[in-house]
């Protein structure tokens, strides 16, 4: 067996569907009602039964502030919504990220995109689709940004590198010369408050995939300080089920209770791994992740037992620093369903 199968971990970070969340989404009557409401718009006109169309734009204008307030009231997010003139619900944060990259390539006078080493690889891969129009650079996490030409930097916080909230010092260092795209896909999975008030933050994106196991619903949002044309006319192409999923969560789920459940599942998953394999992984600040220091005895044992697999879980931060990072999704699924 390989490392992934032995420990019950993965490199791809995905939360399995949680029974408590399914009750308020997939199985919720209000979600079905929303989907049916939109579906009626497609009823052939010749039947004479065509009903008024669901006004997705108006719904979006209510859903976005409700979602942000839900996180803010629970103490997970500090954001000034009015600082961002462009606000859209998207088909996951992936659509939002691609929209921003397209905007940089087409409309920005600054064409340089920075990605921090060890961060979410999707930033780099999506920027590469427009490499003829962009300068794309991966830089060490401890890079002094003052020495770099002005550009846009993608930063996930809590970080996809180690699950920790990025420091105010890092944001300030990059913000003094560069525009920041802050990716909050792990928001709500860490005890700390995500602060989105730094004036250099050009855009904030997030999704329901990580904290709620809703990756198949393709539901997320973007707030930006400039109009993003790729997303401007997407009102007729939104994922209505994903918006209904989000609406039901906001109306029915306590984020505080949900965070406690996630932390309990993280603890149970780590105990399961240790009981079955003897490996004691360190809990990351984000409840879906675990880590190991490369210098630890556990990491050395890992490298000896799985010489071909271990490197897949090693996140290189550049500058001689790295960390082993594991997604606990499979172990959490085993706790819930095995």
**Tokens coding 223:** 């707030």
Q: What are the tens digits of pLDDT across the range 89-128?
A: 998 889 999 999 999 999 999 999 999 999 999 999 899 8
Q: What is the pLDDT of residue 36?
A: 64
Closest listed residue to residue 247, CA positions, set 30, 83, 9: 30
Low-confidence ranges of the chain (pLDDT < 50): 42-46
Contact 254, 70 (CB under 8 A): no
pLDDT of 221? 93
Query: How do the domains of the chain map onto residue ranges?
Result: 3-19+255-337, 29-252
Q: Express each pLDDT in 255-280 by its tens digit.
A: 999 999 999 999 999 999 999 999 99
Q: At what angle do helices 56-73 and 240-252 cross, to 10 degrees?
A: 40
Dihedral of alpha carbons 141, 282, 258, 123, sign: positive
Say if CB 14 and CB 326 are below 8 A apart: no
Whose CA is closest to 224, among 77, 87, 63?
Answer: 87
Q: How far apart are CA 2 and CA 10, in angstroms?
A: 11
The DSSP result for 289-335, as a single string, is EEEE-TTSHHHHHHHHH-TTTGGGGEEEEETTEEEEEEE-HHHHHHH
Secondary-structure class of domain 29-252 per CATH: alpha beta
Of residues 140, 141, 146, 147, the one with CA closest to residue 166:
141
pLDDT given at position 20: 75
How far, in Å, CA of 106 to CA of 103, rounded? 5
pTM, to two decimals:
0.91
Q: Are the C-beta atoms of 160 and 124 separated by less than 8 Å?
A: no
- Residues 95 and 224 sit within 8 Å (Cβ to Cβ): no
Within 8 A by CB and 6+ apart from 296, the residues are none
Sheet order of strands, 179-183 included: 86-90, 220-224, 201-207, 179-183, 152-156, 112-116, 135-139
**Cα-Cα-Cα-Cα dihedral sign, residues 62, 20, 165, 328:** negative
Q: Which pLDDT score, from 0 to 100, does residue 46 have?
A: 45
Q: Tell me, what's the pLDDT at 50?
A: 52
Q: 326 pairs with which residues across the strands?
A: 290
Whole-number Å distance between alpha carbons of 22 and 203: 30
**H helix runs in 240-284, sequence order:** 240-252, 255-277
At residue 48, the pLDDT reads: 52
State residue 73's pLDDT score.
Answer: 94
């Amino acid at each position: 067996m390989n490392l992934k199968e032995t420990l019950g971990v993965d490199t791809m970070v995905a939360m399995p569907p949680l029974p408590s969340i399914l009750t308020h989404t997939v199985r919720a009557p209000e979600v079905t009602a929303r989907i049916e409401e939109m579906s009626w718009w497609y009823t052939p006109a010749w039947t004479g039964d065509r009903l008024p169309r669901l006004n997705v734009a108006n719904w979006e204008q209510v859903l976005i502030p409700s979602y942000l307030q839900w996180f803010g009231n629970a103490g997970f997010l500090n954001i000034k919504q009015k600082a961002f003139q462009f606000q859209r619900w998207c088909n996951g944060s992936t659509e939002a990220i691609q929209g921003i990259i397209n905007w940089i390539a087409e409309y920005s006078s600054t064409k340089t995109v920075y990605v921090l080493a060890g961060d979410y690889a999707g930033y780099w891969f999506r920027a590469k689709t427009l490499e003829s129009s962009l300068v794309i650079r991966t830089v060490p996490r401890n890079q002094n940004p003052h020495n770099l030409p002005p550009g846009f930097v993608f930063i996930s916080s809590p970080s996809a590198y180690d699950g920790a909230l990025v420091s105010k010092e890092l944001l300030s260092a990059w913000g003094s010369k560069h525009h920041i795209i802050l990716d909050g896909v792990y928001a709500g999975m860490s005890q700390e408050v995500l602060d989105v008030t730094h004036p250099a933050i050009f855009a904030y994106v997030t999704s329901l995939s990580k904290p709620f196991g809703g990756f198949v619903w393709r539901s997320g949002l973007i707030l930006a300080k400039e109009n993003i044309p790729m997303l401007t006319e997407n009102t007729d192409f939104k994922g209505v089920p994903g918006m209904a999923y989000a609406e039901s969560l906001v109306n029915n789920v306590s984020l505080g209770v949900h965070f406690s459940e996630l932390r309990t599942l993280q603890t149970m998953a780590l105990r399961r791994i240790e009981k079955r394999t003897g490996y004691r992984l360190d809990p990351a600040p984000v409840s879906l992740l675990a880590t190991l220091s490369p210098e630890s005895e556990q990491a050395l044992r890992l490298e000896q037992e799985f010489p071909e697999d271990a490197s897949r879980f090693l996140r290189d931060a550049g500058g001689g620093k790295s960390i082993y990072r594991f997604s606990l999704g499979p172990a959490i699924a085993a706790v819930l369903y095995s």
